Structure 1
Amino acid sequence: MDPSIGIVAQRGNDRAQALAASIVEAVGADARAVVDEETGHVLDRKGVPVAAMADCDLVVSIGGDGTFLFVAREAGGAPILGVNLGEVGFLNAVAPDDAVETVVSLVADRRQGEPIAGRTVDRLRAEGEGWELAPAVNEVVVHGRRRGHGGGAEIEIRVDGERYAESHADGVLVATPTGSTAYNLSEGGPLVRPSVGALVVTQMCATEPMPPLVTDAESEIELRLTGPEGGYAISDGRNRRRLESPATVRVAVADDPIVIAGPRGNFFEALEKLE
């Protein structure tokens, strides 16, 4: 059976949509290619919801890291190949000029019965009393109703049941190694090489701060939020849950990682692009 390929182009990006058309043409009769609904409208071909691509042999994300995170949230059951149209590209390792050749090569391998080559990346689950957020590739954040003066909340951090820190803070961030270069870095957290099995815990503007903590990937982080205004738990900056105080959020590695397909990006070269 021919491989099934999903293609998601960044919305409103003519370059991404043109590249999607080139990939569809290149795989031709060698694969059953589908595009997302927005791209289908632009290319005048039938599109499908991104969530419907979860059973594909491969999903190609064309855009920046935001597009990749969207694809991972909607279709994370399939290996994802990231084509980088952004600035840095920690998640999107393939340059636009190499995209067609890379997809064609992966399709050829799959037609010969080979699995899609890639690396497995952990995601985070965050849950509370009767709820659970969509898994996060980068980070889970628990913060007060608003940031800055007069905002924030009291947040206690426990790691595997042991108290690590407690302070009034704008929030607390738990990141994967993949996410250490994102929001975590902007809040003063450490860089973690993607191959390291770890979690990072970083306070955000705490009045009594502790240094950012790197702990093993098997840890469970418990964040206990108190304060008159409550707050939010947020997964990858998109999915959020309103928290009524007091609230406890448990964060740990999810059971369902994602597979980032294709060649591995150069972590240190990508770091050089950070401002």
Structure 2
Amino acid sequence: MNVGIVAQKGNSRAAFLAGELRERLSTMNVSVTLDAATGESLGLDGRSVETLGDCDLIVSIGGDGTFLFAASGADGTPILGVNLGEVGFLNAVGPDDAVEAVTAEVAAVRDGDQRVRVVPRLVAVGDGWRSDPATNEVVVQGGRRGRGGGVDVEVRIDGSLYTGGHVDGLLVATPTGSTAYNLSERGPLVHPSVGGLVVNEMCPDEGMPPLLVAPDATVTVTVNGVGGRGGTGGTAASGSGADEAVVVSDGKHSYPIDAPTEVEIRRAETPLRIAGPSSDFFEALNKLD
């Protein structure tokens, strides 16, 4: 059995716990693979996080950002999150309980009775390209926000026109991502037990309210123009960066696009699988204050 460990970069507490877990797992005849940054912090060899999908279990130590980083390379491998952050929607295990929780999860994998929660992810598809899966959200936006920036879009849900006009961007979020960027854009909170995707216009000139659609819906965003607030295909000042459009996956992976073009956003084939105990959604919400 092989367990991957990803510790928050630059966090000495996370690195110490990663070393402690590695030592304990070695006594259980479990191989441990560290991501590159974690290995460097412990003076050991590590691998790129994108290669950890061949592990039987991945342990993320840090905040939700570290969990998303680990998820980017998991490729369906269950992830157990140890929370060293402030909120912890994805990380349910506290640091004092980490060793016990990880060893219990290893035993469950070996016994064939591991239970995981399946969480949808999103993928964006354009002309000749496909994004990495996103756990939180996919955003189609202009090169910059505000005056002279943004994009002119039409948004369709399973082929039916929902809205259109000039916006800073168009955000599609999973229930998991409803508490992240979507919330800062005044989108609704979605309980983890509720299926669906949030479609949320970002600062529209004239728009529709955020919409919750079916989890298997396809959201098609037609980008007709970039920049020039209030007019299709307006131009921006030279060198402003507003004459660019981009698709962003989980705030990490960016894909430049040229208007006019279409971007389809839909549920990814491989979901995120979360191991270990469930976090208390409402307790985590209270920490957002």
TM-score, normalised relative to structure 1: 0.96
The sequence identity of aligned pairs, in percent, is 53
Amino acid at match of 1:222: T
Partner of 1:268: 282
RMSD between aligned residues: 1.2
Contact 2:198/2:212 (CA < 8 Å) preserved in 1?
yes
Amino acid at match of 1:106: E
Distance in 1 between residues matched to 2:213 and 2:36, nearest whole Å = 41
Displaced runs of 4+ in structure 1, greater than 4 A? none
Once the two structures are superposed, residues 37-80 of structure 1 have per-residue CA deviations (whole angstroms, 9 ceiling, x without a partner) of 22222222222222222111100011111111111112233111
Partner of 2:268: 254
The reply on whether 1:117 has 2:88 as its aligned counterpart is no
Secondary structure of 1:48 counterpart: coil
Once the two structures are superposed, residues 144-193 of structure 1 have per-residue CA deviations (whole angstroms, 9 ceiling, x without a partner) of 12101111111111001000001211001000001000000000100001
Segments of structure 1 that go 5 or more residues without pairing to the other structure are: none
> What is the number of residues matched between the two proteins?
272
Partner of 1:61: 60
Partner of 1:51: 50
Aligned with residue 231 of structure 1, among 241, 245, 255: 245
1:5: Cα distance to partner? Answer: 0.5
Distance in 2 between residues matched to 1:108 and 1:38, nearest whole Å = 27
1:138: Cα distance to partner? Answer: 0.3
Partner of 1:7: 5
Q: How does 1:1-275 map to 2 (within 5 A)?
A: 3-30=1-28, 31-111=30-110, 113-227=111-225, 228=233, 229-275=243-289
Amino acid at match of 2:103: V
Distance in 1 between residues matched to 2:285 and 2:114, nearest whole Å = 27
Contact 2:49/2:72 (CA < 8 Å) preserved in 1?
no
Secondary structure of 2:54 counterpart: coil
Secondary structure of 1:219 counterpart: coil
Distance in 2 between residues matched to 1:195 and 1:23, nearest whole Å = 31
Secondary structure of 2:27 counterpart: helix
Amino acid at match of 1:87: E
Amino acid at match of 2:135: V
Contact 1:64/1:84 (CA < 8 Å) preserved in 2?
yes
1:110: Cα distance to partner? Answer: 2.2
Segments of structure 2 that go 5 or more residues without pairing to the other structure are: 226-232, 234-242
